[in-house]
């Protein structure tokens, strides 16, 4: 690491502020390479993290962004979070025109103070300072200087100078200062230079800097953002939050901290104890026993977020959940843990990073990468995972909200990293059988029977559990891939299997489905399962390909054609097998009936960028094959 003098750092920070005050943000000074493909340009981004041992830290963020057009407006708004552990010391804001001339100035008192509570939060002490200059004469520049104090060291801000696509960066710097005896850990992505090291009084200083990052264009199926752009993550070794101290140098230590937060919170009221035994004791099969107790919990609780102080990490006691009949993910998981414990069944309180597609995780960097809690129940030959915030999910099934990602099991010995279930191509199945009848005007009566399995049923599960029958019909009348149609009748039923499934029955009238021109009728045999994926060729692809979810679709269609029509043109069979998946479709006509068969197996995985041309061709082939038409003549 390089050594620099203390005076150099002080001059550097002082110069930055002076430049900003002088309004040196003329758009004409931006290099042309930073304007290409950009909607906004980060002119400067100076971050300073001053760690005061395990007690807390001060964070200063000074940034200026030039907004080039309307699509860059998201970068113009200030949202500064604060809560019990966060004190916003000061906020300054400046607005500049295209020539860098100061138009407006604001202070902290000029910002809007809003609650962080939404409809799903019962208790939450989080708030935001919000501000927007609402300037719409492009281009223009906003500058903010925010200084905050944090009274914890559980987590630290990261340095990610380029936060999104179509955002370029002139310069960005991140400096962290900490006592010499403090053990700071960090992990670097896509940045090859070592940090500049110095001593500031008794503190060690590390600085990362970067300049002139051109805007990146979004590439479909690209890897996670931290694999693409420079990023430095920071984490403590020892830390403190409220009156609780812990260590996260290992997953074992981190898990011990989480476990200690829930200690002594598994006591149940006598009435619940009696109910637990009434449900569980007559059942011999442990899996069935867990499922019945889980059902009891679902039917007698509801999810409410609680983010009050340490309550963001610490669960409410089980007896409080039993009495109040609500809780957040921590409280409900602890309640279910307590119920199973009373029934003599072992389970593990499990923290996880939830969210659709949020499967990325730094397993080699113990830190707070979690936002959710679930429950893991080991059985003799299997493991049951329980999503305790859901009143409708089947016992043992995790949706795409928490499947296929690392999770931390915690017990009295600490934490252990495991991986939640992966639902593979056999699990994520869609089987659809359609019978249709065309009249002479091209109107099609459709009788569709479909089964959705695994991840393919997740969306349907939410819809049928969350909408009334009338609202569900409105929804169906809007979302099907048909030009003009009416839902005559519909129903859904759940199939009770280990991997959940939903059966759908639809009766539909598709008006003018077939095109009738003179003596000819044009029919698209693929009625309801058309792929919309169509990629643009890119010979300069920069990043690998990441296909997330695998699935298998099987379609069978039978359409009765009006009497007197015969086939004039029949599309050829399509058969394709690639590293990305398989696809087959075929059509045949017997008498006055058309038979269509489609089979699509989509794989998941990581592929080199050189395969992108093949991926474009793969999706293009499916897109075209899904839209072929048969010509009948009378």
Tens of pLDDT, residue by residue over 410-444, are 999 999 999 999 999 999 999 999 999 999 999 99
Instruction: Tell which phi-psi region holds residue 163, choosing left (phi > 0), alpha (psi between -120 and 50) or beta.
Output: alpha
Whether the per-residue pLDDT at 240 is higher than 60: the answer is: yes
Which two tokens mark 287? 């899996």
What is the pLDDT at residue 308? 53
What is the pLDDT at residue 358? 79
**First-to-last CA distance in the chain?**
82
What is the pLDDT at residue 115? 86
What is the pLDDT at residue 31? 98
What is the pLDDT at residue 12? 39
Q: What is the pLDDT of residues 375-405, one digit of tens each?
A: 999 999 899 999 999 999 999 999 999 999 9
Q: Distance between CA 126 and CA 244 in Å, rounded?
A: 20
What is the pLDDT at residue 5? 34
Q: Distance between CA 255 and CA 414 in Å, rounded?
A: 4
Q: Distance between CA 143 and CA 179 in Å, rounded?
A: 31
- Between 119 and 564, whose confidence is greater? 564
Q: Distance between CA 155 and CA 185 in Å, rounded?
A: 11
Q: Distance between CA 390 and CA 372 in Å, rounded?
A: 13
Q: What is the pLDDT of residues 120-152, one digit of tens each?
A: 445 567 899 999 999 999 999 999 999 999 999
Q: What domains can be seen in the chain, in order of their start residue?
A: 6-240 (2.60.40.3140), 246-419 (3.10.620.30), 429-633 (2.60.120.1130)
pTM listed for this prediction: 0.91
Cα-Cα-Cα-Cα torsion 588, 591, 594, 600, nearest 10 degrees, comes to -30
Backbone φ and ψ of 370, nearest 5°: -115, 155
Query: Residue 354 contacts by C-beta under 8 Å, 6 or more apart in sequence?
Result: 371, 372, 401, 402
Q: Distance between CA 298 and CA 391 in Å, rounded?
A: 5
Which two tokens mark 285? 């099969």
Q: Distance between CA 589 and CA 488 in Å, rounded?
A: 28
Q: Distance between CA 614 and CA 622 in Å, rounded?
A: 13
Q: What is the mean pLDDT of residues 299-305?
A: 92
> How many beta carbons lie within 10 A of that of residue 474, not counting itself?
13
Whether the per-residue pLDDT at 616 is higher than 70: the answer is: yes
Closest CA to 221 of 553, 576, 580: 580
What is the pLDDT at residue 81? 92
What is the pLDDT at residue 510? 98
Q: What is the pLDDT of residues 203-215, one digit of tens each?
A: 999 999 999 999 9
Q: Distance between CA 76 and CA 116 in Å, rounded?
A: 20
Q: What is the mean pLDDT of residues 112-120?
A: 74
Q: What is the pLDDT of residues 505-517, one digit of tens each?
A: 999 999 999 999 9
- What is the pLDDT of the chain when averaged over all its residues? 93
What is the pLDDT at residue 2? 36
DSSP code at position 25: -
Whether the per-residue pLDDT at 11 is higher than 90: the answer is: no
Which two tokens mark 336? 């279910």
Closest CA to 262 of 301, 313, 328: 313
Q: Distance between CA 94 and CA 20 in Å, rounded?
A: 9
Whether the per-residue pLDDT at 569 is higher than 90: the answer is: no
DSSP code at position 250: S
Q: What long-range pairs does 327-331 form, CB within 8 A, spacing at least 24?
A: 327/301, 327/303, 328/303, 328/304, 328/389, 329/303, 329/372, 329/373, 329/374, 329/388, 329/389, 330/262, 330/306, 330/373, 331/306
Which two tokens mark 59? 């964070």
Which two tokens mark 439? 């009249």
């Amino acid at each position: 690491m390089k050594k620099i003098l203390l005076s150099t750092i002080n001059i550097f920070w002082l110069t930055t502020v002076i430049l900003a005050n002088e309004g040196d943000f003329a758009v004409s000074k931006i290099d042309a390479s930073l304007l290409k493909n950009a909607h906004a340009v980060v002119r400067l981004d100076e971050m300073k993290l001053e760690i005061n041992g395990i007690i807390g830290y001060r964070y200063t963020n000074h940034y200026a962004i030039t907004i080039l057009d309307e699509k860059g407006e998201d970068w113009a708004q200030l949202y500064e979070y604060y809560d019990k552990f966060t004190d916003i010391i000061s906020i300054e804001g400046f607005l500049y025109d295209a020539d860098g001339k100061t138009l407006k100035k604001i202070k902290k008192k000029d910002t809007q103070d809003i609650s962080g509570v939404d409809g799903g939060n019962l208790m939450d002490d989080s708030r935001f300072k919000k501000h927007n200059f609402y300037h719409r004469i492009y281009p223009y520049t906003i500058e903010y200087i925010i200084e905050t104090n944090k009274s914890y060291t559980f987590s630290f801000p990261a340095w990610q100078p380029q936060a999104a696509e179509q955002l370029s960066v002139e310069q960005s710097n991140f400096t962290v200062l900490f006592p010499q005896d403090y053990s700071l850990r960090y992990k670097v992505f896509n940045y090859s230079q070592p940090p500049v090291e110095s001593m500031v009084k008794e503190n060690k200083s590390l600085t990362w800097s970067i300049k002139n990052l051109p805007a990146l264009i979004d590439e479909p199926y690209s890897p996670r953002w931290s694999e693409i752009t420079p990023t430095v993550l920071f984490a403590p070794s020892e830390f403190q939050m409220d009156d609780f101290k812990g260590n996260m140098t290992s997953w074992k230590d981190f898990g011990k901290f989480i476990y200690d937060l829930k200690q002594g919170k598994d006591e149940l009221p006598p009435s619940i104890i009696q109910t637990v035994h009434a449900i569980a004791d007559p059942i011999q099969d442990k899996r069935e026993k867990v499922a019945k107790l889980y059902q009891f919990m679902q039917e007698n609780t509801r999810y409410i977020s609680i983010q009050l102080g340490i309550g963001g990490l610490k669960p409410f006691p089980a007896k409080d959940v039993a009495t109040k009949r609500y809780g957040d993910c921590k409280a409900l998981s602890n309640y279910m843990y307590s119920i199973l414990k009373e029934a003599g069944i072992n389970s593990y309180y499990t923290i996880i990073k939830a969210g659709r597609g949020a499967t990325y995780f730094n397993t080699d960097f113990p830190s707070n990468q979690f936002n959710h809690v679930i429950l893991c129940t080991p059985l003799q030959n299997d493991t049951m995972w329980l999503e305790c915030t859901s009143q409708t999910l089947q016992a043992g099934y995790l949706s795409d909200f928490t499947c296929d990602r690392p999770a931390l099991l915690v017990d009295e010995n600490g934490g252990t990293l495991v991986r939640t279930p992966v639902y593979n191509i056999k699990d994520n199945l869609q089987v659809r059988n359609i019978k249709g009848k065309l009249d002479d005007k091209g109107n099609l009566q459709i009788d569709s029977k479909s089964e959705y399995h695994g991840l393919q049923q997740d969306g349907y599960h939410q819809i049928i559990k969350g909408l009334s029958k009338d609202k569900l019909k409105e929804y169906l009348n809007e979302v099907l891939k048909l030009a003009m149609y009416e839902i005559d009748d519909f129903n859904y039923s759940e199939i009770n299997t280990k991997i959940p499934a939903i059966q759908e029955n639809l009766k539909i009238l598709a008006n003018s489905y077939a095109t009738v021109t003179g003596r000819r009728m044009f029919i698209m045999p693929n009625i309801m399962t058309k792929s919309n994926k169509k990629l643009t060729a890119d010979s300069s692809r920069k990043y690998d390909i990441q296909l997330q979810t695998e699935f298998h679709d099987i379609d069978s269609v039978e359409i009765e054609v009006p009497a007197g029509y015969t086939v004039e043109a029949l599309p050829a069979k399509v058969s394709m097998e690639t590293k990305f998946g398989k696809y087959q479709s075929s059509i045949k006509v017997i008498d006055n009936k058309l038979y269509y068969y489609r089979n699509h197996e989509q794989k998941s995985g990581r592929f080199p960028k050189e395969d992108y041309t093949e991926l474009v061709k793969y999706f293009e082939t499916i897109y075209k094959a899904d839209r072929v038409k048969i010509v009948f003549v009378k």
